[in-house]
Structure 1
Amino acid sequence: MTKGQCLCGAITFETDAAPQGPSVCHCGQCRRQSGHLWASAYVPKDALTIAGPLRWYDSSAQAQRGFCPTCGSFLFWQAFAEDTISFALGALDAPTGLRLQKHIFTADKGDYYDIADDVPQTS
């Protein structure tokens, strides 16, 4: 069982499904919303149980982002055309048992940091 919550605890989530594709996103939207970058993994949407006052923001014509209206934690990302949902790795209860598999949208990364690990990158 993988479990997580927002900073204030108002939103909790859990899944029995094995999280897939642990990655770090360097796109401009994730950097602006998180304040730096966003690490996530995904599961089938119907395998994730979410409780609490979740709010959604349509960040583009393709996807929405879920966050806590109380503490502002950015917890979920979902493409409208997909049946999976991504959740923030930083919101998970430890131990996660996960390891990063990739960095994505690295061409959009901020100019104030370097990616200094050996995890594969896609631009």
Structure 2
Amino acid sequence: MHSGSCLCGAVTFQVRCELQPPDACHCRQCRKTSGHYWASTDVPREMLTIIGEDRVSWYRSSEKVRRGFCVNCGSSLFWDVEGRPRLAIAMGAFDQPTNTHLEKHIFVADKGDYYEIADGLPQEGL
């Protein structure tokens, strides 16, 4: 089992399965939401328990996508596509150890101009 929380602890969560290798999204929306790039792992909804769910505010960032934030501290926690059986959770919100490693970078054509991606991992969306 893996657990995590927002910065202030008002929202906590538990994941009852091993974590899939996360990816790092460099698209404009993810950079604006997170302040850098967004690293997350997808979790089957039935394997996730959110405690303090009433403290999560959902922002609709596109027609089918919403993003979940803590209403107290503003931590960016979740990325959700309507109708998809999995929910993405921010890697930075997990308690360690996560026992996984970044798998790839996506939407790299949109990355910020202030950094380079030099870790040798696959890059999509060039």
Q: Does the pair score TM above 0.5?
A: yes
Q: Which residue is equivalent to 1:92?
A: 94
Name the SS for the 1:20 alignment partner: coil
Structure 1 length-normalised TM: 0.96
Number of aligned residue pairs? 123
Give the Cα separation in 2 of the matches to 1:19 and 1:65.
20
Write out the 4+ residue segments of structure 1 that deviate beyond 6 Å after TM superposition: none
Q: Which residue is equivalent to 2:3?
A: 3
For the pair 1:29 / 2:29, whether they are aligned, the reply is yes
Give the Cα separation in 1 of the matches to 2:45 and 2:107.
23
Q: Which residue is equivalent to 1:70?
A: 72
Letter in 1 for 2:35: G
Cα deviations by residue, 1:56-93 (Å, 9 ceiling, x for unpaired): 11110121100101000000001113110000101110
Q: Which residue is equivalent to 1:51?
A: 51
Name the SS for the 2:46 alignment partner: helix
Q: Which residue is equivalent to 1:114?
A: 116
Give the Cα separation in 2 of the matches to 1:51 and 1:109.
33
- Unaligned 5+ residue runs, structure 1? none
Cα deviations by residue, 1:2-46 (Å, 9 ceiling, x for unpaired): 110000000001111222241111010010011111110011112
Taking only the aligned residue pairs, the percentage that are identical comes to 54
Structure 2 length-normalised TM: 0.94
Give the Cα separation in 2 of the matches to 1:47 and 1:82.
14
